[in-house]
Amino acid sequence: MYSAQSSISKLTNLCEISSVEVGQHFYWQIGGFQVYAQVPITFRIVIAILLGSATLATQNLQTIPTSGQNFVEYILEFIRDLTRTQIGEEEYRPWVPFIGTMFFPTFVSNWSGAPLFWRIFELPHGELAAPTNDINTTVASALPTPVAYFYAGLRKKGLSYSGKYIQPTPILLPINILEDFTKPLSLSFRLFGNILADELVVVVLISLVPLVVPIPMMFSGLFTSAIQALISATLAAAYIGELMEGHH
């Protein structure tokens, strides 16, 4: 009887912990449902920034590039070199758009969480923050990586690709399968934890010392956010490159 009551008490405590929110979030009330509005709003702004930047960057291209075109070409060359380094000279070209897609939305999403920027908006309740400080966003952004990984394997080896799960011995089958499931989890939790921690630190500093002290931490947070986007893209390319390694 005591054991059953103890188990129920633990489950109750877990439910209470799962309902705890970090920060004050912004919600929409649609009928009888409460919709988490923070991510849809900020991520649409991120998409608009990316689409607008891509449109401006591809207008009026010159044979002799201007300074703006030079900057865009430098970024694209950076993504290309990153992909080539991780996947290999022979196989990297088809994967450049995918790695770019993994990098740019994450990069802009991370930077969109700068608290100083969102202070110009007054909301009736709650606040806006980076889409990547929500675990749902980071999991969704990490899921294309194993899909691309499986696609690359099936494209290279067909159904015989599944033989890798019993190498070097069939005993390792569960571990090899688990490894593929942990890759997107690793990507998503790493990004979520770092962005959430960075925003919490800045918000706490602003509430304690609202003038000069938080500014260096904000710039540090922007640098950390850029590094996290780079890590996500690099790991995605590395996972694909790991598969391609045996086929050069």
pLDDT tens-digit readout, 1-55: 544 455 445 445 444 443 445 556 677 777 777 777 778 888 888 899 889 888 8
What is the pLDDT averaged over residues 111-129? 62
Question: What local confidence, expressed as pLDDT, does residue 11 receive?
Answer: 46
Question: What local confidence, expressed as pLDDT, does residue 117 receive?
Answer: 55
Question: What local confidence, expressed as pLDDT, does residue 96 receive?
Answer: 92
* pLDDT of 106 strictly over 60: yes
What is the pLDDT averaged over residues 169-178? 79
Q: With CA atoms as reference, report the closest residue to 109 among 226, 31, 218.
A: 226
Give the model confidence (pLDDT) of 193-228 as tens digits: 888 777 777 767 766 766 666 667 677 777 888 888
- Show me where the domains of the chain are located: 24-57+66-247
**DSSP-assigned beta bridge partners for residue 53:** none
* pLDDT of 75 strictly over 80: yes
Task: Output the pTM of the full model.
Answer: 0.76
Residues of the chain above pLDDT 90, percent:
8
Question: What local confidence, expressed as pLDDT, does residue 68 receive?
Answer: 74
Q: Where residue 81 falls among pLDDT bands split at 50, 70, 90?
A: very high
Question: What local confidence, expressed as pLDDT, does residue 155 receive?
Answer: 79
